[in-house]
Amino acid sequence: MTESDLARRFWLEGFRDFLALEAGSSPNTVDNYLRDLRRLVEFAGSRGVDGPAGLSRAMLREFVFALKDLGLSAASIRRHVSAVRTYFGFLLGEGIVTMDPSDRLESPRLGRTLPETLSVPEIEALLAAPSIDEPLGWRDRAILELGYGAGLRVSGWG
């Protein structure tokens, strides 16, 4: 079966129209979702599935694991999962499928990055910045030392 046959059997053109016209998705979202779904269609075709009704929860989980094996980032995999969920919402709404195998599909969690920190010399320079010869210098220095000593973040000030 050719790629265009699979795309037709999986209703990708109708899904594209749905995203662009009914859902009001941006052109970038439409392109990305279709690229992600083509990857799913290719994956399904390699396993002998020739339409969306043949996709099971287990196969969708295998697909997510395959994406991890390809080395895709957590954010890319989350977008794939979002595309699959939106796709099955479309298929249900159109009456093409009767159940949604993506309803329990989990996305990988995004890792949190550590905040940037100042070096010891930068901290010393910051704490020494307020001049204690000025009227508000003692107050400014106390605020800085309190913030540093308590581990407060700049975003929490002001």
pLDDT at 43: 93
Q: What is the largest CA-CA distance in the chain?
A: 82
Separation CA 98–CA 100 (nearest Å): 7
Confidence (pLDDT) at 84: 95
Structure letter (DSSP) for residue 72:
-
Residue type, 50: D
Q: Which residues contact 40 (CB under 8 A, 6 or more apart)?
A: 55, 63, 80, 83, 84
Q: Look at 131 and 8; give whichever has higher pLDDT.
A: 131
Q: Which amino acid is at 117?
A: T
Tens-digit pLDDT profile for residues 81-130: 999 999 999 999 999 999 999 988 887 776 777 777 778 898 888 888 88
The per-residue pLDDT for 156 is: 45
From CA 108, how far away is CA 153, in angstroms rounded?
28
Using CA atoms, how far apart are residues 100 and 107, in angstroms rounded to an integer? 16
Q: How far apart are CA 50 and CA 48, in angstroms?
A: 6
Give the gyration radius of the chain's Cα atoms.
26
The model's confidence at residue 158, banded by pLDDT at 50, 70 and 90, is very low
Q: Identify the structural domains of the chain with CATH numbers, from first to last.
A: 3-94 (1.10.150.130), 120-156 (no CATH)
Q: What is the pLDDT of residue 157?
A: 46
Q: Where is pLDDT greater, at 37 or 135?
A: 37
Q: Which tokens is 156 given?
A: 């929490």
pTM: 0.67
Q: How far is CA 66 from CA 24, 76, 80, 103, 113, in A?
A: 30, 13, 12, 19, 25
pLDDT at 4: 72
pLDDT in tens, 12-58: 889 999 999 888 889 999 999 999 999 999 999 899 888 898 999 99
